[in-house]
């Protein structure tokens, strides 16, 4: 027999190897193997078995890694789809579906020595006192870890060895599972009686799961065999998967739109319970940052006891390699039927899979920013289709893409519009920062209104969160007096201010213009037009001067050097040891602090004028999420939004908690300019140290793309243009942006062009399909 193996080398090629007779029992599609490759030994994955090979003199597989096949056929199929859709090499896609700790052989099960009492006939032989005491402990426990015994009996291994010599006990290694949550005390928790909106949402999800369940085997079989069946053009691709077209019961995708605190999590928990009753498992994806012990505890607490008892496996980057190895194998062995984890948990081998939940589905961290550049939410939807699993996307601020998919009937919308705990939505006050400016003095950080509000909270011993969204290096040019922002005449995007050469530049179409000396608004003419940078450090320092007695803590990626800092600071804040928390978007995410009654957003416009068509959407989401942090306790919350453009729709709709209003006007803007969700984007970035070479290569690539895509009618090809972050860490970057209605045809063309493209050695190319970050 021959095995076809994808090696972990960027070769975009598979190789045939002989299966030696003594390994034939263990090798199947999905096995991890070690094979000879030239003088080296390389790891790979078996992707097919064959009777014969076109090549002569095949070398044999050296060994198999892991007792079970690690990559199941379903996950292998998913990896293939990722390779095709996201234009990456199959080996790159395959690499991402197994955790490093499982892929490599080093981290294995941890073995511990255990001591076990052996049966003996007749009377206990006469023993010295020490040994006798020891024997009593072992006899009572029957077996226990050697280390524990040594501590209990305050003795040495030598004494125990003597009992072993007498044939009374056996000492042998045993697998001892690591449990990253062993130290948490988790009390069981029971389902809550649902309110009407929750009950309705749950019923819809359950109906869908039961419908699929009845014909799961037939459907998943068809999906796996005939790729694109039900799609129109026989290609794989997100847009071609049959969602509601099939006459039978296809798996359904739900968008659960529920305001913060509306009880989405309770709906997830009860839906998972039903999946377990149907004999299926579930995957719950949450953004890495919200994988706090509290979140994990809510899931463990529900399922660690009772009739549906199962292990809940947790996968995230703060686990040790060993812990990750054990958690993953608990899933593979079917002992853990529920997985909760960050992005890559979507590849967990849960079998059979009934339900996938993607919480905070709008979160950009679901997109992996290195190859394979997959979006876990989209992979979740494809996996749901392939395996007949129901998918629930949950968010207080759904992405435009998901909302649009509801509008056109691809997803089903479920809404929870009220808080489940009867807490009121916070009052949002917009502060017009233009009013605070005084000629000749610096732009203030705090308006008098916000200062006053902070002082009040400190007096009442309530807590405050202050939020500054300072991301990216590039800034828009904005007039602090009138709010004027320089925009591109062709693209309706903010122009990026390049400080070094004093130019404004559009990174989509490459339009440039000089920086104006005074504000171009004829009614303003302010000479102080350049945006001065502001960071969380400056906010913290100013705050300390204004409120010398307040306990202030800053939380941003600079301040968090060690991995436990995040949890420690949040713990201190929860315990009331901090009065004011200052941070970047990292504090905007699903955290509950009952004593926070004031949230301040320093410059809401900073997010608004990023050179990205999603700037408005992001600002709206951010303001809504941040506002959701206030008033989760007994006292009503208040939110202050300081802005230089207070009448911008993103700010105004967020103030009124008006989701639908915002989505409708934003969709109109996207449609006019043919941005997603009305198109799909592929962003190509060329990078190198020599700017001329990078630019030359970009022009060359652009011509090749034009040729290869001339038959895609609706294609818009823009660029090459310098990236907003033109020169990062001494690299120059140029971008080409392609937009089309459907990605599948474009993906294939891109693969062809990029693979045959000859680039200079010191210029590299990356392809990002459905990018979320245009910088
Ligand atoms: P979300 O996930 O939408 O932010 P949560 O599930 O965290 O909302 O619920 C917010 C709060 O409301 C939690 O304290 C939760 O225990 C409570 N809650 C949820 N559902 C109910 C219910 N049906 N009855 C009473 N309290 C509820
Ligand atoms: Zn432009």
From 291, 359, 347, 287, select the one nearest 319 (Cα to Cα): 291
Residue 444 has pLDDT above 70, yes or no: yes
Residue 9 has pLDDT above 50, yes or no: yes
Which stretch, 237-246, 520-529, 585-594, has highest mean pLDDT? Answer: 520-529
CB of 99 sitting under 6 A from ligand 1: no
From 128, 150, 121, select the one nearest 137 (Cα to Cα): 150
From 283, 333, 322, select the one nearest 99 (Cα to Cα): 322
Output the CA 421–ligand 1 centroid distance in Å.
Answer: 6
Whole-angstrom distance, CA of residue 391 vs CA of residue 355: 6
How is the beta sheet containing 281-285 ordered, strand by strand?
311-315, 336-341, 281-285, 353-359, 390-395, 253-258, 412-416
The β-bridge partners of 16 are 4
Mean pLDDT computed over 593-614: 81
Residue 217 has pLDDT above 60, yes or no: no
- pLDDT value, residue 530: 63
**Contact by Cβ (8 Å): 110, 178:** yes
159 sits in the region (left: phi over 0; alpha: psi -120 to 50; else beta) called alpha
The β-bridge partners of 48 are 4
Q: Residue 535's pLDDT band (boundaries 50, 70, 90)?
A: low
Residue 228 has pLDDT above 70, yes or no: no
- pLDDT value, residue 212: 73
Atom of ligand 1 nearest to the CA of 260: 4
**Contact by Cβ (8 Å): 615, 581:** no
**Contact by Cβ (8 Å): 504, 477:** yes
Q: Pairing between strand 427-432 and 463-467?
A: unpaired
Show the tokens assigned to 85: 């859709």
Q: φ, ψ for residue 405 (rounded to 5)?
A: -65, -25
Give Cα 597 to chain centroid, integer Å: 29
- pLDDT value, residue 563: 59
73-85 and 216-225 helices, crossing angle to 10°: 50
Query: Could you report the per-residue pLDDT of 97-117, keeping only the tens digit for each?
Result: 888 777 766 556 666 777 888
Output the CA 316–ligand 1 centroid distance in Å.
Answer: 24
From 67, 108, 3, 105, select the one nearest 332 (Cα to Cα): 67
- pLDDT value, residue 38: 84
- pLDDT value, residue 500: 61
Q: Residue 231's pLDDT band (boundaries 50, 70, 90)?
A: very low
CB of 260 sitting under 6 A from ligand 1: yes
CB of 421 sitting under 6 A from ligand 1: yes
Q: Scanning the structure block, which residue is given the tokens 């392809």?
A: 767
Mean pLDDT computed over 290-310: 81
Show the tokens assigned to 117: 């009492």
Residue 442 has pLDDT above 90, yes or no: no
**Contact by Cβ (8 Å): 690, 736:** no
Show the tokens assigned to 280: 């299926």
Residue whose CB lies within 8 A of the most ligand 1 atoms, among 421, 422, 589, for a mutation test: 421
Output the CA 266–ligand 1 centroid distance in Å.
Answer: 6
For ligand 1, atom 15, name the residue with the nearest CA: 263
- Write out the residues surrounding ion ligand 2, Cβ under 5 A: 488, 490-491, 506, 508-509, 511
- Give just the sign of the alpha carbon dihedral 614, 615, 617, 622: positive
Residues 327-344 as b/e (b if ≥16 CB within 10 A, e otherwise) read bbbbbbeeebbbbbbbbb
Other Cβ atoms within 10 Å of 79 Cβ, number: 27
Helix (H) or strand (E) holding 36: strand 32-37
Check whether the bond before 352 is cis (ω within 30° of 0).
yes
Query: Could you report the per-residue pLDDT of 336-374, keeping only the tens digit for each?
Result: 999 999 999 999 999 999 999 999 999 989 999 888 999
Atom of ligand 1 nearest to the CA of 262: 3
Q: Which residues contact 34 (CB under 8 A, 6 or more apart)?
A: 41, 42, 43, 44, 61, 62, 63, 64, 65
CB of 189 sitting under 6 A from ligand 1: no
Higher pLDDT, 24 or 184: 24
Which stretch, 480-494, 617-631, 705-719, has highest mean pLDDT? Answer: 705-719
Which region among 142-156, 241-255, 348-362, 667-681 has the lowest average model confidence (pLDDT)?
A: 241-255
Other Cβ atoms within 10 Å of 170 Cβ, number: 13
Whole-angstrom distance, CA of residue 623 vs CA of residue 619: 6
**What is the three-class DSSP state of 111?**
strand
- pLDDT value, residue 227: 38
Higher pLDDT, 481 or 28: 28
Q: Residue 232's pLDDT band (boundaries 50, 70, 90)?
A: very low
Q: Scanning the structure block, which residue is given the tokens 């294939």?
A: 748
Query: Could you report the per-residue pLDDT of 401-418, keeping only the tens digit for each?
Result: 999 999 989 999 999 988
Average pLDDT, the chain: 82
Residue 81 has pLDDT above 70, yes or no: yes
- pLDDT value, residue 272: 95
Q: Residue 724's pLDDT band (boundaries 50, 70, 90)?
A: low
- pLDDT value, residue 120: 75
User: Contacts from 653-656 at CB under 8 Å and sequence distance 24+?
Assistant: 653/620, 654/428, 654/619, 654/620, 654/623, 654/624, 654/627, 655/428, 655/429, 655/430, 655/623, 656/428
Output the CA 656–ligand 1 centroid distance in Å.
Answer: 22
- pLDDT value, residue 244: 41
Residue 559 has pLDDT above 60, yes or no: no
Higher pLDDT, 285 or 631: 285
- pLDDT value, residue 428: 86
Residues 764-775 as b/e (b if ≥16 CB within 10 A, e otherwise) read ebbbbbbbbebb
- pLDDT value, residue 738: 92
Residue 471 has pLDDT above 50, yes or no: no
- pLDDT value, residue 458: 93
460 sits in the region (left: phi over 0; alpha: psi -120 to 50; else beta) called alpha
- pLDDT value, residue 523: 84
Q: Scanning the structure block, which residue is given the tokens 């929750």?
A: 198
- pLDDT value, residue 353: 95
Show the tokens assigned to 219: 């459907």
Whole-angstrom distance, CA of residue 31 vs CA of residue 347: 16
**Contact by Cβ (8 Å): 425, 657:** yes
Higher pLDDT, 310 or 262: 262
Show the tokens assigned to 741: 């209605």
Show the 3-state SS of 383-407: HHHHHCCEEEEEECCCCHHHHHHHH
Show the tokens assigned to 649: 């729709």
Residue whose CB lies within 8 A of the most ligand 1 atoms, among 259, 419, 420, 591, for a mutation test: 420
CB of 262 sitting under 6 A from ligand 1: yes
What's the helix, strand, coil split of the chain in %, to 5? 35, 25, 45
Q: Scanning the structure block, which residue is given the tokens 């999603």?
A: 614
Whole-angstrom distance, CA of residue 337 vs CA of residue 345: 13
Output the CA 658–ligand 1 centroid distance in Å.
Answer: 21
Output the CA 191–ligand 1 centroid distance in Å.
Answer: 11
Whole-angstrom distance, CA of residue 377 vs CA of residue 660: 22
- pLDDT value, residue 632: 60
């Amino acid at each position: 027999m021959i095995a076809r193996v994808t090696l972990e080398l960027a070769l975009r090629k598979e190789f045939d190897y002989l299966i030696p007779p003594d390994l034939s029992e263990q090798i199947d599609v999905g096995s991890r193997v070690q094979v000879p490759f030239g003088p080296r030994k390389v790891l790979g994955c078996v992707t097919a078995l064959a009777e014969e090979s076109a090549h002569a003199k095949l070398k044999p597989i050296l060994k198999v890694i892991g007792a079970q096949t690690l990559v199941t056929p379903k996950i292998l199929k998913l990896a293939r789809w990722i390779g095709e859709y996201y234009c990456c090499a199959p080996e790159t896609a395959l690499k991402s579906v197994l955790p490093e700790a499982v892929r490599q052989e080093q981290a294995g099960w941890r073995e511990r020595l255990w001591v076990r009492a052996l049966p003996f006939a007749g009377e206990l032989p006469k023993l010295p006192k020490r040994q006798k005491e020891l024997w009593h402990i072992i006899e009572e426990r029957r077996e226990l870890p050697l280390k524990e015994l040594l501590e209990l009996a305050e003795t040495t291994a030598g004494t125990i060895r003597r009992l072993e010599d007498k044939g009374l006990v056996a000492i042998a290694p045993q697998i001892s599972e690591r449990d990253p949550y062993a130290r948490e005390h988790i009390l069981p928790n029971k389902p809550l009686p649902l309110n009407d909106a929750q009950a309705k949402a749950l019923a819809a999800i359950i109906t869908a799961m039961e419908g699929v369940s009845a014909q799961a085997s037939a459907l998943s079989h068809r999906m796996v065999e005939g790729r694109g069946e039900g799609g129109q053009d026989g290609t794989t691709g997100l847009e071609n998967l049959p969602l509601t077209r099939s006459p039978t019961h296809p798996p359904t995708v739900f968008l659960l739109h529920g305001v913060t605190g509306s009880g989405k999590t309770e709906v997830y928990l009860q839906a998972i319970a039903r999946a377990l009753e149907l004999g299926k498992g579930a995957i719950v994806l949450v953004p890495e940052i919200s994988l706090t012990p509290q979140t994990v505890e809510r899931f463990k607490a529900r399922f660690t006891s009772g009739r549906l008892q199962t292990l809940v496996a947790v996968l995230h980057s703060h686990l040790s390699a060993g812990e990750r190895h054990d958690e993953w194998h608990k899933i593979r062995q079917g002992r853990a039927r529920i997985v909760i984890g960050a992005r890559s948990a979507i590849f967990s081998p849960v079998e059979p899979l009934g339900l996938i939940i993607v919480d905070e589905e709008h979160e950009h961290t679901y997109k992996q920013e290195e190859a394979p550049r997959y979006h876990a939410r989209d992979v979740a939807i494809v996996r749901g289709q392939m395996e007949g699993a129901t998918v629930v996307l949950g968010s207080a601020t759904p992405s435009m893409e998901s909302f649009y998919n509801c509008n056109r009937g691809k997803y089903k919308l479920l809404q929870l519009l009220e808080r489940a705990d009867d807490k009121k939505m916070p009052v949002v006050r917009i502060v017009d920062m233009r009013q605070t400016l005084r000629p000749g003095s610096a732009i203030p950080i705090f308006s008098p209104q916000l200062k006053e509000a902070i002082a009040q909270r400190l007096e009442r011993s309530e807590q405050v969160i202050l939020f500054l969204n300072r991301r990216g290096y590039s800034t828009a040019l904005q007039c602090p007096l009138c709010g004027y922002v320089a925009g591109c005449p062709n693209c309706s995007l903010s122009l990026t201010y390049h400080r070094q050469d004093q130019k404004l530049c559009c990174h989509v179409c490459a339009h440039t213009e000089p920086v104006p000396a005074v504000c171009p608004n004829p009614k303003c003419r302010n000479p102080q037009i350049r945006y001065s940078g502001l960071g969380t450090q400056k906010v913290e320092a100013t705050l300390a001067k204004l409120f010398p007695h307040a306990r202030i803590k800053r939380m941003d990626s600079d301040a968090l050097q060690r991995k436990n800092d995040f949890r420690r600071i949040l713990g201190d804040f929860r315990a009331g040891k901090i009065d004011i928390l200052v941070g970047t978007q990292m504090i905007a995410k699903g955290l509950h602090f009952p004593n926070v009654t004031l949230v301040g957003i320093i410059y809401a416009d900073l997010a608004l004028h990023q050179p990205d068509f999603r700037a408005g959407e992001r600002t709206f989401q951010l303001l809504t999420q941040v506002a959701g942090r206030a008033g989760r306790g007994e006292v009503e919350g208040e939110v202050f939004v300081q802005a230089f453009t207070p009448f911008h729709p993103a700010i105004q709709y967020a103030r009124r908690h008006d989701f639908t209003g915002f989505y409708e006007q934003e969709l109109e803007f996207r449609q006019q300019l043919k941005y997603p969700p009305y198109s799909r984007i592929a962003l190509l970035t060329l990078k190198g140290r020599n700017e001329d070479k990078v630019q030359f290569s970009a022009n060359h690539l652009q011509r090749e793309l034009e040729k290869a895509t001339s038959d895609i009618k609706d294609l818009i090809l823009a660029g090459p243009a310098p990236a907003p972050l033109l020169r990062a860490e001494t690299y120059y970057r140029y971008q080409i942006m392609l937009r089309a209605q459907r990605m599948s045809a474009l993906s294939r063309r891109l693969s062809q062009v990029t693979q045959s493209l000859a680039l200079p050695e010191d210029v590299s190319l990356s392809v990002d399909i459905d990018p979320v970050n245009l910088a």
